[in-house]
Amino acid sequence: DVKVTQSSRYLVKRTGEKVFLECVQDMDHENMFWYRQDPGLGLRLIYFSYDVKMKEKGDIPEGYSVSREKKERFSLILESASTNQTSMYLCASSSMGGRAEAFFGQGTRLTVV
Amino acid sequence: AQSVTQPDIHITVSEGASLELRCNYSYGATPYLFWYVQSPGQGLQLLLKYFSGDTLVQGIKGFEAEFKRSQSSFNLRKPSVHWSDAAEYFCAVGASSNTGKLIFGQGTTLQVKP
């Protein structure tokens, strides 16, 4: 069974803090993704990575950065958290190819106060 | 630009009734299409997918979807809904032939009445 594990289910952070969201997958997938989920907007891609140390911006990268030092781990970084980054964050992984199924973690609900 | 539209934000059906969730996409080439379900407090789970071939695809939990190129649609159906089907449903299109990026619709929340 593919497992994508996000380190926290719930996080509360203060405005201006640097925030790290961690994601680990156990299926040796090449691709990893960070999505943000907001009501009425569906899921929007923040960043994705197709190999170690490789990354590409998604549709809403502003205010975020990512790190992928090992194949199984993909971190999302909020450099200076703001209240408009309060959201549900979902990590996903997939093998190479556009037909590959994406497997999702359970999500991290981040609240910035 | 590629996009996915789910016209219905919220749908309520009675248990045992049939269900159809609508999805329209905009994509230049033959799309890779997916339906995912998200139960409360959970991540997304793949219900079914379409790449090519037979336009009626079967998925898990008794769901099916039909690809209609002429209507740019990929509607999800189930003949008889169960209370456990209450969840949020997302339609998605593969944004690239090789990276696995997905573009999601806004989601449809399904409520099931007893």
pLDDT at A2: 66
Judge: B101–A33 Cβ closer than 8 Å, yes or no: yes
Whose tokens are 């509607």? That residue is: B75
List, in sequence order, every beta strand (DSSP E) within chain B.
3-5, 10-14, 19-21, 24-26, 33-38, 44-50, 56-58, 64-68, 73-78, 87-94, 102-104, 108-113
Cα B46 to chain centroid, rounded: 9
Binding-site residues on chain B for chain A (CB distance < 8 A): 4, 6, 9, 32, 34, 36, 41-46, 49, 51, 90, 92, 94, 96-107
Q: In angstroms, what separates the C-alpha of A55 from chain B's closest C-alpha?
A: 11
Region B14-22: mean pLDDT is 97
Q: Is the pLDDT of residue B40 over 90?
A: no
pLDDT at position B97 is: 66
A79 contacts A29 by C-beta, under 8 angstroms: no
Q: Is a pLDDT exceeding 90 seen at residue A71?
A: yes
Among A42, A45, A107, select the one facing B101 at the smallest CB separation: A45
Residue B2: is its pLDDT beyond 70? yes
The 3-state DSSP class for residue B70 equals helix
CA B67-B72-B74 angle, 5° bins: 35
- pLDDT, residue B100, reads 79
Res B10 pLDDT > 90: yes
CB contact under 8 A, A40 and B46: no
Please say whether the dihedral angle defined by the alpha carbons of residues B51, B105, A38 and B20, taken in this order, is positive or negative.
negative
Tell me the mean pLDDT in the region B67-92. Answer: 96
Q: Which of A6, A59, A104, A108 to mutate to test the interface with B (most CBs of B within 10 A)?
A: A104
Query: Per-residue pLDDT for B81 more than 80?
Result: yes
Joined tokens for residue A17: 């803090």
User: How would residue B19 be classed by pLDDT, with cut points 50, 70 and 90?
Assistant: very high
Question: CB count, 10 Å around CB of A51?
Answer: 12
What whole-number percentage of chain B has pLDDT above 70? 97
pLDDT, greater one: A101 or A59: A59
Backbone φ, ψ for residue B47 (5° rounding):
-90, -45
Give the Å distances, CA to CA, from B6 to A42, A76, B38, B109: 10, 28, 15, 11
| Mean pLDDT, residues A20-30 | 95
User: How much is the pLDDT for A96?
Assistant: 79
